[in-house]
Amino acid sequence: MNDGSMGPLTETARKISSMEVRGAGRIARAAAASLRDFALQIDAQSLEEFNSEIKDAADILLATRPTAVSLSNAVRMVIRHRESSVEAARRSVVSNADRFIEDSEKAVEKIGVIGCRRIRNGDTILTHCNSMAALSIIAAAHRAGKEINVIATESRPRWQGRLTIGMLEEMGIKTELIVDSAVRSVMNDVDLVVVGADVITANGSLVNKIGTAQIALCAHEARTSFMVAAETYKFSPQTIMGELVTIEERKAEEVLPEISKFRHVRVRNPAFDVTPHSYIDVICTEVGAIPPEMSYLIIKERLGWEMDESTSISNSSGSDNHCCYCE
Ligand code: RUB
């Protein structure tokens, strides 16, 4: 392996693991950019050597966080090429990465334009965690001159809600911050829940920040609309092949820094949970607002899904995380 040129890519991997770079879309774009920069540095004598170096680099990135399928989809889209020389393969990887990053940014914008049509003047919107796709919808509604009010959860244990309220503050949007457990207390004031996605499975279920499933349950019980904002690269081809989604379990210290003082307590810290498709009214993608039941078609048509070995790229490879699996 070309150790000298691996430095920046390893640094990106470290930032993704530590969550300095976080959120499924950002993770995917950072991985694409670091593969592109790495491809430009590879000093390979043969195509086999080039492919093997790129594959090793991809594996380092894939081992960072196991849940977000945007990471494995981005890696697959960037490293896939049919070239027969090192230089052509290098050019392919670079242009794949640039295209992925550009398309991904445009997708977030387009989701805003499409999703904001579902927001009415005077609506109160509840959001969870910090999702660029969900915030794109809220920002687009605000730009369109709709009077909106946002309720943001804290999103313990990593407090992503503080990022969200900072962004809403900058946009000048009226915002209320609540503790995660206050969701039911405020749900009757909410017109629409809008959240992002780490994974949409073949049956249309959503994997997103821990707590999302409870919010969906509350929204369902209160007859409040539940909208998911998800670029098409958040849909999981692996789930068509029957694979289960790996749910990342992070360190106990994130929840309880003084855990070492407790001899009989075990902290569980799953970072994501699963919302059944039956609780989701609509998934807003860059190609339209679709019912969750259409997820299979998105995977088939948008992700160029084929029954080949590239489909089996999985984020969980080599990860030290303690993971559990779900449908
Ligand atoms: C972030 C999270 C976000 C999705 C979508 O979790 O659950 O809702 O990743 O984000 P974490 P985006 O903070 O653990 O990465 O819409 O920005 O891709």
pLDDT at position 314, please?
54
d(CA 166, CA 177): 11
Q: Could you read off the pLDDT of 48-106 as tens digits, one per residue?
A: 999 999 999 999 999 999 999 999 999 999 999 999 999 999 999 999 999 999 999 99
- Would you state the pLDDT for residue 130? 98
Ligand 1 within 6 A of 133 CB? yes
Three-state DSSP state, 284: strand
Residue 260, token pair as written in the block = 């070492």
* pLDDT for position 4: 55
What is the rounded distance in angstroms from the CA atom of residue 164 to the CA atom of residue 159?
A: 9
- Please identify, by atom number, the ligand 1 atom nearest to the C-alpha of residue 160: 13
Which pLDDT belongs to residue 317?
42
Query: Going by CA atoms, what residue is nearest to atom 7 of ligand 1?
Result: 209
* Phi/psi at 219 (5° precision): -65, -40
pTM of the model: 0.94
Whether 123 is catalytic is: no
Residue ranges of the alpha helices (H) in 151-211?
A: 160-171, 183-186
CA dist., res. 65 & res. 91, Å (int): 28
Position 307 scores a pLDDT of: 46
Exposure on the CB side of residue 141, measured as CA atoms within 13 A: 26
The DSSP output letter for 249 is: E
* pLDDT tens column, 239-290: 998 999 999 999 999 999 999 999 999 999 999 999 999 999 999 999 999 9
pLDDT at position 319: 42
Tell whether the model's pLDDT for residue 294 goes beyond 70: yes
Residue 33 Cα to ligand 1 middle (Å): 19
Q: pLDDT (tens digit, 9 = 90+) per residue, 202-230?
A: 999 999 999 999 999 999 999 999 999 99
Give the per-residue pLDDT at 6.
87
In this predicted structure, the answer to whether residue 142 has a pLDDT above a threshold of 70 is: yes
Percent of the chain residues past pLDDT 90, beyond the cut: 89
Burial label for 25, CB within 10 Å (0-12, 13-18, 19+), is: buried
Q: What is the pLDDT of residues 37-50, one digit of tens each?
A: 999 999 999 999 99
Pull the structure tokens for residue 255: 């929840």
pLDDT band at 5 (very low <50, low <70, confident <90, very high): confident
Q: How far apart are CA 98 and CA 46, in angstroms?
A: 24
**Residue 140, strand partner residues:** none
Q: Is the CB of 321 under 6 A from ligand 1?
A: no
CA–CA gap between residue 243 and residue 251 (Å, rounded)? 25
Give the active site residue among 116, 129, 284, 323: 129
The confidence band for 315, taking pLDDT boundaries of 50, 70 and 90, is low
Grouping H, G, I as helix, E, B as strand and the rest as coil, residue 240 is helix
For the segment 154-160, the average pLDDT, to the nearest whole number, is 98
How high is the pLDDT of residue 63? 97
User: Given 3-state DSSP classes, what are the helix, strand and coil percentages for the chain, each rounded to the nearest 5?
Assistant: 50, 15, 30
Q: What ligand 1 atom has the least distance to the C-alpha of 25?
A: 18
Distances (CA, A) of 225 to 182, 242, 284: 18, 29, 13
43 is catalytic: no
